[in-house]
């Protein structure tokens, strides 16, 4: 069933490709000559030529597929006992930061110095600046009450 479906899909694709070629040739002929009869003839010729070429190319190639001989695989028995992870390491594993003791004159490259790492907010600001979109300005505190008080004082002083 899968092979028949594949053949149908390939046939439909061949028809579509041939029709596209015929349509392109018909349009080109109409654009050049301006006669519908010539355009139709060119479209039919393009359809036939495309169908003929794809029919010749579309034949299934005969590639022989060799059979895999299961007898060629030999299982070798293992005489050793299976590996068991039963040993326990008694002393704890300590992860010391050797670079913490390195002086400033040492020839060691510190890739990730904890003190020199920027904060996430600083990273975000750098990225926004690099991409050309600055972070939105920090909202200023609401000064409407102070403005109302200043206007009230101004009115009282004018009376």
Instruction: Convert the pLDDT of each residue in 12-27 to its tens digit.
Output: 888 899 999 999 999 9
Identify the helix (H) or strand (E) that includes residue 23: helix 2-33
pLDDT value at 45 more than 90: yes
Token pair, residue 89, equals 């390491």
For the chain, the structural domain boundaries read: 7-57
Note whether 51 and 18 are within 8 A (CB): yes
Q: Cα dist. 149→29, 89, 139 in Å?
A: 83, 74, 21
What are the pLDDT digits (tens) for 145-154? 888 888 888 8
Mean pLDDT on 57-74: 72
What are the pLDDT digits (tens) for 79-123? 777 777 777 777 777 777 666 676 777 766 666 666 777 888 888
Q: Is the dihedral of CA 28, 33, 38, 40 positive or negative?
A: positive
Instruction: Tell me 100's DSSP state.
Output: G
pLDDT value at 141 more than 70: no
DSSP 71-85: GG--PPPP-SPPP--
What is the chain's mean pLDDT, rounded? 79
Q: Cα dist. 121→114, 117, 118, 134, 135 in Å?
A: 16, 12, 8, 13, 10
């Amino acid at each position: 069933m899968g092979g028949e479906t594949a053949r149908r899909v390939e046939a439909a694709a061949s028809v579509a490709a041939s029709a596209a070629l015929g349509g392109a040739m018909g349009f080109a002929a109409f654009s050049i000559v301006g006669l519908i009869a010539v355009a139709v003839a060119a479209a039919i010729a393009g359809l036939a030529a495309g169908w003929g070429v794809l029919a010749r190319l579309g034949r299934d190639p005969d590639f022989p597929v060799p059979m895999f001989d299961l007898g060629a695989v030999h299982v070798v028995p293992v005489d050793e006992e299976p590996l068991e992870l039963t040993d326990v390491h008694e002393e704890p594993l300590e992860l010391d930061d050797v670079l913490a003791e390195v002086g400033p004159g040492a020839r060691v490259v510190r890739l990730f110095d904890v003190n020199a790492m920027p904060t996430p907010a600083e990273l975000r600001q750098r990225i926004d600046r690099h991409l050309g979109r600055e972070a939105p300005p920090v909202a200023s505190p609401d000064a409407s009450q102070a403005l109302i008080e200043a206007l009230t004082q101004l009115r009282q002083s004018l009376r």
